[in-house]
Amino acid sequence: MYLGFVVVKGAGLVEVRSLCDVALLAGQEILRVYATDFDVEIKADQSPVTIADTAAEAIILRALHEMYPGIPVVAEEAVSAGDTPAIENTFFLVDPLDGSKEFVSKNGEFTVNIAVVVAGEPVMGVVYAPALGKLWWGAKGQGSFYAKVVDGCISEAHQIGVREASSGLRAVGSRSHGSGEGDERLSRLPIRDYVSAGSSLKFCLVASGEADVYPRLGRTMEWDTAAGDAVLRAAGGRVERLDGGLLVYGKRQQVGDVDFANPFFIAYGDTRFCQMADAV
């Protein structure tokens, strides 16, 4: 089964199989908590957090530090607790449980996200939906793939790619934060219909040709998007800010916003439509 790797200066090879294995381990712990009557806390940013978030992140951090000690890891819960490593050219971005609202509501649409960022670009990403038994991964120049996870094991992999949109776009929006439907900033795009999904699954739907565009006209953080962004780019898509520039990663000391916060963006499958929405 092809999984691929990227070469990271000073750290050698980062194999996507190793990241998939780490995501599966974190997913096991998430599912263990998912089956219980867990407590929910509300963080300062008003997002929910459970023991599943912190336990899964601990698993991921320990594994990445052991396998790739030369690469710093920026992880959501650690940053929330004030633990932000110094980063330079290359780093991991981790969201141990993306879609906490979906986790709390138990609709299954939550994911484990692990990405490798080099020079501001997400060059490798793994997205695992443990409750759905679905795994996506992608690496720059090597394509994107999907596989089912059965009894904790990765089944046969299938290469995925964005689709050519011929007449009207299917947009996928956030199940918990709004789809963007009716927003005048999307009026230049020929959107035919909207569907909803939770967490980074939206990127994966575009990457696999099940949707054409994912507009996010609301707040996200880099760990929310990097892994799905990497999968989509490797599948032939593109993720742009509203001014037409590529979404970049490792944003620190931003004027008017916190570290690692994203601007609004639109993720495209068929990139012919990018210019239609530029400077909306």
Which pLDDT score is estimated for 72?
A: 95
Which pLDDT score is estimated for 12?
A: 60
Within a 10 A sphere around the Cβ of 63, how many other Cβ atoms? 19
- Listed in sequence order, the DSSP H helices in 35-172 are 51-67, 76-80, 100-105
Q: Is residue 175 very low, low, confident or very high in pLDDT (cuts 50, 70, 90)?
A: low
Q: Do the annotations mark residue 76 as ligand-binding?
A: yes
Taking the C-alpha atoms of residue 208 and residue 54, their distance in angstroms, rounded to an integer, is 30
Which pLDDT score is estimated for 3?
A: 61
Does residue 11 have a pLDDT over 60? no
Span 97-148, pLDDT tens digits: 999 889 999 999 999 999 999 999 999 999 999 999 999 999 999 999 999 9
Q: Do the annotations mark residue 64 as ligand-binding?
A: no
Q: Do the annotations mark residue 37 as ligand-binding?
A: no
Measure CA of the first residue to CA of the last residue in the chain; give whole Å: 42
SS3 content of the chain, % helix, strand, coil (to 5): 30, 30, 40
pTM of the model: 0.93
Span 196-214, pLDDT tens digits: 898 999 999 999 999 999 9
Phi, psi angle pair for 124, to nearest 5°? -155, 140
Within a 10 A sphere around the Cβ of 53, how many other Cβ atoms? 24
Report the share of the chain in percent with pLDDT over 90.
74
Which pLDDT score is estimated for 244?
A: 92
Chain position carrying tokens 């005048």: 184
Q: Is residue 245 very low, low, confident or very high in pLDDT (cuts 50, 70, 90)?
A: very high
Mean pLDDT for the chain?
Answer: 90
CA distances from 65 to 29, 127, 165 (A): 19, 19, 42
Report the share of the chain in percent with pLDDT over 70.
91
Q: State whether residue 116 is helix, strand or coil.
A: strand
Q: DSSP code of 257? A: S
Q: Which one is predicted more confidently, 164 or 47?
A: 164
Which pLDDT score is estimated for 279?
A: 47
Q: DSSP code of 140? A: T
Vertex 101: Cα angle to 182 and 268 (nearest 5)? 45
Buried b (16+ CB within 10 A) or exposed e, 121-137: bbbbbbbbbbbebbbbb
Does residue 278 have a pLDDT over 80? no
Residue (of 268, 16, 270, 236) closest to 143 by Cα position: 236
Which pLDDT score is estimated for 43?
A: 82
- Report CA Rg, the chain: 17
Which pLDDT score is estimated for 179?
A: 53
Q: Is residue 166 very low, low, confident or very high in pLDDT (cuts 50, 70, 90)?
A: confident
Q: Do the annotations mark residue 224 as ligand-binding?
A: yes
Which segments within 151-227 are labelled E, that is strand?
A: 153-154, 158-160, 169-174, 191-197, 213-216
Taking the C-alpha atoms of residue 167 and residue 192, their distance in angstroms, rounded to an integer, is 8
Q: Is residue 13 very low, low, confident or very high in pLDDT (cuts 50, 70, 90)?
A: confident
Q: Do the annotations mark residue 95 as ligand-binding?
A: yes
Which pLDDT score is estimated for 96?
A: 98
Span 34-75, pLDDT tens digits: 999 898 888 877 788 899 999 999 999 999 999 999 899 999
Q: Which domains does the chain have, with CATH numbers?
A: 5-160 (3.30.540.10), 169-277 (3.40.190.80)
